[in-house]
Amino acid sequence: MTTTIRQRVTNVNGATLHLTEAGEPGAPLILLSHGFPECAYSWRHQMEPLAAAGYHVIAPDQRGYGHSSAPHDVSFYGINNLAGDLCALIDEQGHDQAIFVGHDWGAIIVWETARLFPERVKAVVGVSVGFTQWPMRPTELFKAAFGDRFFYMSYFQNIGPPEKELDANPRDSMSKVLWVASKDGFPGVPDELPPMEGTGFLSLTNTPPPLPWRWLTAADLDYYTAQYTQSGFFGPVSYYRNLDANYEITKDLSPDRISMPSFFISGADDVVNLMNPTAIDSMAATLPDFRGGVLIPDAGHWTQQEQPEVFNATLLNFLQTI
């Protein structure tokens, strides 16, 4: 069975969003929320299998990405707007609820949407990034943990240098980032991070091998390059500039609000998992209806792209339980 994948543009919640969708309108709705630095294209291997399983699937290029709205206003990329976009897509489809699946930054968005608006979320799946209850303002935590050593989320707080670095050559930037966080390209956690002063986001990457890789083709990289040539990196990086503001919005909201079925999927060789190996145990102790986590072998950070067949089977198995 071949399912038609469609592209369209919609205006919701004060933003213009470019959407990729598949499946029959009116069917149970799944919203796929992508991470950084990606776009809806990162879900290309999931659209048809989910539609074939009976779902209406929508993956937006979230605000700041590709051909979606991308103003130079940091507050435009705060969690109320990001969660509001997804809830507005539910309204657009005439539903009360949707199933939310998010990868990387998209995982942060869906976890917080489930906490802010639990009545809109039938089930939630975080990919790569588990639910996090920040103990203090994130930038203060980063400073305490890393001091004057380089940490990319701290580097992204300053407007100007990150965009200049990444926008200089979008193809080179995307190639290096996609390679270094993949299972095959990840060099391992360094014994000591370089100083913040004089270090850039791409400083910790190495030269990728020629394409194709086992999970990415030259055409895939062409697509990503075109997306970032269009949008630039200000919007995507500005998600990180809202971490403290988001914390102030959500700090007093109990994780108990995430009472719907929840699930976690990660690559066994994902740098996020390697740096936070207790994420699954933490969610099991925190979330009321956490139904487990799966670490997919031979997958790095780009979980659903590196091992799409295993990822799809894992996700569908969870969906059958709700």
Q: Which residues are catalytic?
A: 104, 301
Pair of tokens at residue 285: 């102790």
Helix segments in 38-78, DSSP class H:
47-52
| 98, 122 Cβ separation under 8 angstroms | yes
DSSP 270: -
Contacting residues for 2 by C-beta, under 8 A, at least 6 apart: 48
Amino acid at position 149, single letter: R
Q: Which residues contact 128 (CB under 8 A, 6 or more apart)?
A: 35, 103, 104, 107, 265, 266, 267, 270, 272, 273, 301, 303
Q: Give the count of beta carbons closer than 10 Å to the beta carbon of residue 298.
A: 13
- Backbone angle region of 26, left / alpha / beta, with phi > 0 → left and psi within -120 to 50 → alpha: left
Give the strand order in the sheet containing 121-127.
Answer: 6-12, 15-22, 56-61, 29-33, 98-103, 121-127, 262-267, 290-296
Q: Residue 20: enclosing H or E segment and its boundaries?
A: strand 15-22
